[in-house]
Amino acid sequence: MRINGLGSPKTVRRSGEATGKPAAGQSFQPAGVAATRQNSLPVGAAPLQSIGALLALQSVDDALTGRRRAIKRGNDVLDTLDDLKLDLLTGGIEPAKLRRLLVLIEGQGPSGDETLDAVLADIDLRAKVELAKRDMI
């Protein structure tokens, strides 16, 4: 697409207008900008606060982290129970899977979500039944 008719970039000077060269001691300054001081001191960065505070904030688990851990643990228990079911169908259960199931259900605290904790309690109960059938608990 071709654009025509914009005109030329020539400017017209009025008589008596400056030629664009600054007078002695003057410098270019954009309109609306206040003059800056030439001899101002450089401003340094603000001193760092304790880096220990930042590290402490990073080490605190938020509510979502505990929830994610609880969901992952619940999924791991369910996967292990499925593996046990497949082992039963093929003829035998591996003791390592039973030990893994026992480790997964021990020592887990609450996630902070009552509904999730109720579901996890049901999953743990099912796992404990399977372990009790094999005299692991």
| pLDDT of 131 higher than 70 | yes
Q: pLDDT class for 122, splitting at 50, 70, 90? A: very high
Q: Phi first, then psi: what are they for 124, rounded to 5°? A: -65, -40
Specify the pLDDT at position 64.
67
Residue with tokens 């999924």: 75
pLDDT grade for 81, boundaries at 50, 70 and 90: very high
**Average pLDDT for residues 58-71, to the nearest whole number?**
74
E strands present in the chain: none
Give 66 or 38, the one with higher predicted confidence.
66
Residue 96 has pLDDT above 70, yes or no: yes
d(CA 42, CA 55): 31
Tell me what pLDDT residue 69 has: 86
When mean pLDDT is compared over 1-10, 17-26, 32-41, 70-79, the highest value belongs to: 70-79
Predicted pLDDT at 26: 63
Q: What is the mean pLDDT of residues 9-38?
A: 60
Q: Does the global pTM surpass 0.85? A: no
Task: Map tokens 């009552």 to a residue.
Answer: 114
Instruction: Average the pLDDT over each of 2-6, 58-62, 100-104, 121-125 and give the range with the smallest value.
Output: 2-6
Q: With 80 as the cut, is the pLDDT of residue 108 above it?
A: no
Task: Give residue 53's Cα distance to chain centre.
Answer: 19
* Contact between residue 108 and residue 84 where contact means Cβ atoms under 8 Å apart: no
Please return the burial class of 73, using the count of CB atoms within 10 Å of its CB with bins 0-12, 13-18 and 19+. middle
